[in-house]
């Protein structure tokens, strides 16, 4: 029997029960039922406010208004330089309606670089909470700092990571690298002890447009998620669980014929995502984009999930299949886009915000009940080795320095050198790092479970002993990364929350690694930068 990644990483959480399969509900333009608990009031901004995709002169502002009746609603918005909203610099209106689930998204232009703004929405005499955002800088800058998060399963615990980040004032933006929400049914994936406090809406697996909208709405009701959105702009990409587990272009591990047509389900998930997230929409529904922070950072946001990914290897000779040159994780169009961007970038640092782990993990030979095979997750770049080889060859052949890969997905923390063959001493020296072409920082999960505690510590030691390029592995704790770039270096500081079963704002420093400009390899540092 095939064991999914979800079952492997569920650890000691609630057992995997049967997933409720639903018949397909077609895309519809009627207002979805997002009133998931008694806190939802008509004529109110129940889901808070958010901002995202900051550029030097613009930023996306988002909210949702719950109408009394199904009819178009005119929402007034304004942007000010002060929290009291007296020094207004921009304002306007946005008409929302049932066809977009009464969400509001405004791309406010004409702003100044590197400036903190405050924003608010209004319908008649009802006003939203006040949000804070910040535009990107231009020109020469000394520093850019991002918090990096991923994998936030509502049913597994409280969003204490978001609470911690809401209390910080030193962030340019928060990068969410996917699995912002999860598609599973109430009893399929979660912490049993929290079922009464962190129950899902809808309770069944989400399949239709209405389902995906309701699940997004549930997440946006969380106090800590609302708080962090109010305080910081987000830069987001989706991963598989915004659709279904182990999704790819033409299907998913957690999708079968009883749930309808995959392309229709994927379209529903995309539509809900663009409605409910503060992301700038491209004409082709792509999430691939570049955001620049002066001449210090080019942030290249990628889609390693559904834009062009072929199905992950599943045959008897999976490693040989992974090396097939016809296989791609990005899709050949996105590959070409990325290589052009890397070659043409004049920024000091090229940060790749993407979903799945790039560093090789071939050494692992786990028993079948842990996934089996010589690679732990062929859902990652290990399953698309030829695509990874092409990317690393582009970096090597064009002598592109200062590439830093930022990754989520695996519910664990890693710091790795990136070499085309780190297991061959002719290609990579584990002591000096010679042969490394770039580095990768992997963020832990917000709440989604990592390895069971009983094997997490020994598993991390085994990983680092067997893989010379993996310098840091932490397989259990929840938290976030702070990634700071200066002209001299890029550093990741890992922070962890003590627990997620009760609300808390506590967190502590775990480890820190950096790469010096031009070195393209990691070094351990004792102290975080903040």
Domains of the chain with CATH codes: 5-20+146-525 (3.60.21.70), 55-133 (2.60.40.380)
Secondary structure letter of residue 44 according to DSSP:
B
How many CB atoms sit inside 10 A of residue 38's CB?
6
* CA-based max dimension of the chain: 70
pLDDT for the residue 362: 64
Q: Is the N-terminal amide bond of 202 cis, ω within 30° of 0?
A: yes
State how far the alpha carbon of 420 is from the alpha carbons of 153, 300, 328, 359, 438, in Å: 34, 21, 16, 9, 10
Distance (Å, whole) CA 297 – CA 225: 27
Residue 264 φ then ψ, to 5°? -70, -40
Alpha-carbon dihedral 422, 425, 428, 430, rounded to 10 degrees: 90
Give CA angle at 215 (28, 53), nearest 5°.
Answer: 90
Secondary structure letter of residue 70 according to DSSP:
S
pLDDT for the residue 397: 98
Q: Which of 233, 161, 175, 147 is nearest to 492 (CA)?
A: 147
The radius of gyration of the chain's CA atoms, rounded to the nearest angstrom, is 22
pLDDT for the residue 317: 81
pLDDT averaged over 10-residue windows placed end to end, the chain, 530 residues: 36 31 30 47 94 98 96 97 98 98 98 98 98 98 98 98 98 98 96 95 98 98 98 98 97 96 98 98 92 98 97 83 93 97 98 97 50 62 95 98 98 97 94 97 98 90 92 97 98 98 98 98 95
Write out the E strands in 84-186.
88-96, 103-108, 116-123, 126-127, 131-134, 144-149, 173-176
- In our burial notation (b when 16+ CB lie closer than 10 A, e otherwise), range 299-316 reads bbbbbbbbbbbbebbeee
The residue behind tokens 């791609």 is: 328
151: left (phi over 0), alpha (psi -120 to 50) or beta: left
pTM as predicted: 0.92
pLDDT for the residue 64: 98
Angle, helices 262-276/209-220, rounded to nearest 10 degrees = 30
Partners of 117 in beta bridges? 133
Contact status, residue 525 vs residue 512, Cβ threshold 8 Å: yes
Residue 403 φ then ψ, to 5°? -95, 125
* Residues contacting 344, CB < 8 A, separation 6+: none
- In our burial notation (b when 16+ CB lie closer than 10 A, e otherwise), range 417-427 reads bbbbebeeeee
The answer to whether the Cα torsion of 135, 145, 296, 397 is positive or negative is negative
pLDDT for the residue 417: 98
How many CB atoms sit inside 10 A of residue 23's CB?
9
- Residue 82's H or E segment, with its range, is none
């Amino acid at each position: 029997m095939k064991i999914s990644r979800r079952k492997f990483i569920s650890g000691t959480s609630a057992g995997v029960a049967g997933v409720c399969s639903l018949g397909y509900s077609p895309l519809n333009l009627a207002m979805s039922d997002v009133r998931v608990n008694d806190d939802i009031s008509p004529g109110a901004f129940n889901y808070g406010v958010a901002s995202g995709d900051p550029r030097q002169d613009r930023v996306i502002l988002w909210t949702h208004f719950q109408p009394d009746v199904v009819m178009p609603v005119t929402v007034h918005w304004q942007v000010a330089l002060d929290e009291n909203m007296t020094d207004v610099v921009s304002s306007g209106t946005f008409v929302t309606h049932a066809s977009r689930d009464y969400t509001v998204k405004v791309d406010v232009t004409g702003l100044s670089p590197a400036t903190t703004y405050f924003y608010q929405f209004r319908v008649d005499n009802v006003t939203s909470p006040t949000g804070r955002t910040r535009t990107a800088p231009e020109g020469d800058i000394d520093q850019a700092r991002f918090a990096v998060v991923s994998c936030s399963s509502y049913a597994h615990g409280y969003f204490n990571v978001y609470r911690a980040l809401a209390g910080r004032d030193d962030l340019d933006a928060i990068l969410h690298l996917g699995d912002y929400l999860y598609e599973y049914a109430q009893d399929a994936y979660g912490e049993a002890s929290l079922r009464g406090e962190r129950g899902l809406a809808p309770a069944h697996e989400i399949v239709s447009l209405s389902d995906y909208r309701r699940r997004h709405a549930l997440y946006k009701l969380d106090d800590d998620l609302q708080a962090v959105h109010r305080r910081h702009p987000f830069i987001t990409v989706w991963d598989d669980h915004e659709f279904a587990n182990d999704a790819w272009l033409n299907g998913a591990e957690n999708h079968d014929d009883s749930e309808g047509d995959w392309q229709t389900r994927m379209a529903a998930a995309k539509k809900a995502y663009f409605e409910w997230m503060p992301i700038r929409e491209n004409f082709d529904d792509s999430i691939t984009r570049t955001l620049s922070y002066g001449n210090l950072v080019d942030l290249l946001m990628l889609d390693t999930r559904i834009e062009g990914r072929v199905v992950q290897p599943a045959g008897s000779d999976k490693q040989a299949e992974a090396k097939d040159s016809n296989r791609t994780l990005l899709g050949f169009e996105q590959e070409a886009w990325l290589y052009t961007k890397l070659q043409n970038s004049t920024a000091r640092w090229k940060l790749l915000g993407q979903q799945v782990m790039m560093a090789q993990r071939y050494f692992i030979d786990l028993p079948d009940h842990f996934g089996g095979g010589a690679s732990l997750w062929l859902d990652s770049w290990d399953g698309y080795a030829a695509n990874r080889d092409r990317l690393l060859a582009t970096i090597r052949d064009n002598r592109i320095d200062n590439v830093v890969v930022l990754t989520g997905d695996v519910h664990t923390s890693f710091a790795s050198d990136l070499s085309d063959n780190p297991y061959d001493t002719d290609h990579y020296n584990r002591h000096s790092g010679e042969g490394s072409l770039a580095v990768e920082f992997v963020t832990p999960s917000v709440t989604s479970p990592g390895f069971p505690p009983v094997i997490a510590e020994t598993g991390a030691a085994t990983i680092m002993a067997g893989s010379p390029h993996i310098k840091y592995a932490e397989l259990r704790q929840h938290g976030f990364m702070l990634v700071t770039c200066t002209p001299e270096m890029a550093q990741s500081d890992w922070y962890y929350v003590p627990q997620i079963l009760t609300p808390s704002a506590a967190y502590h420093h775990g480890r820190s690694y950096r790469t010096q400009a031009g070195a393209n390899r990691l070094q351990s540092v004792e102290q975080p930068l903040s």
